[in-house]
Structure 1
Amino acid sequence: MSAYRKIALSLAGAALCGGLTVAAPAQATPARHTAAAAPAAAAAECGVRADARLWCGNRVGAKGYVHRSYGSGVRGTLTTGFSWFQCWGRGDTHLGGNNVWYWTKLDNGQWGNVPAADVHTRVDPAPGLREC
């Protein structure tokens, strides 16, 4: 049974037993954060998991490049605010003030290098993630 179905059944049961009112979900709106709070909150969720990937918040719309350089071609973007990253490597210095780039599968299915400035890590490279 899917997680979605389990949650739906749990909510339905709670509504029947406890008089819970279940309304249609509201339209999603982007979270409103201050510029300082958003990266800090996202970094708190950031870490290498059992699959050896870094799972971390990222800037929505972050570009993935062919090489570890803003001057190389763009392969695609990250359209969601939370992604996984396979490994890291050194490249050109980017807007984050270091030269760490993260390798990931972009939302269009292409692989690309994302500058660490667009990944909400506490430190770069992320501890426990392998170098590539």
Structure 2
Amino acid sequence: MLTLTNLSRLAAGSALIAGTLVLGSPAAHAASCSGGSSGMNCGNYAPTGLLNHPCTEPSATCGNRITQVDTLRSTYSWFKCYVRGEKHSGGNNVWYYTNGDDHGAYGYIPASRVFTSVDPAPGLPYC
């Protein structure tokens, strides 16, 4: 049971939002990224849908149909590489390529869903 006494024992930077415990901010989690030229393990928001193209909506660049190919359910995941696609809500055009947790299908998620300190993540290869 979550009580005021238990809350006071949580690490600094924790917050209780709408009944859900959130530990720290994305920037705080960025330090947990590790890896390099063969891929990167990093914290991320979950669940996050993996898309078949690095786009937020149909366009000339990505075709007429954007589909979700899988879902990233883990909050610490492996990312193979990055690409540049359409600008997303994070304010840049970096998308990370990874495999999903439901079916193992590969797809793209916007950098705004991955806890990196800078995008693209240093050392991670371009796809």
TM class by shorter-chain length? 0.7 to 0.9
Aligned counterpart in structure 2 of residue 79 of structure 1, from 73, 79, 82: 73
Which 5+ residue runs of structure 1 have no aligned equivalent?
1-29
2:53 matched residue in structure 1: 67
Structure 1 residues 128 and 31, CA gap change in structure 2 (3 angstroms): farther
Is the CA contact (8 Å cut-off) linking 1:47 and 1:126 kept in structure 2?
no
CA-based RMSD: 1.9
The structure, 1 or 2, with the larger RCO (C-alpha pairs under 8 Å, 6+ apart) is 2
- The yes-or-no answer on 1:45 pairing with 2:32 is yes
Identical residues among aligned pairs (%): 42
Greater Rg over alpha carbons, structure: 1
Moved over 2 A (4+): 30-34
User: What TM-score, normalized by structure 2, do the two folds share?
Assistant: 0.72
Kindly tell me the number of residue pairs found equivalent between the two proteins.
100
Unaligned runs of 5+ in 2: 1-18, 58-65
Whichever structure has more helix as a proportion of its residues is: 1
Matches within 5 A, 1:1-132: 32-33=21-22, 37-49=24-36, 52-71=38-57, 72-108=66-102, 109-132=104-127
More strand by share: 2
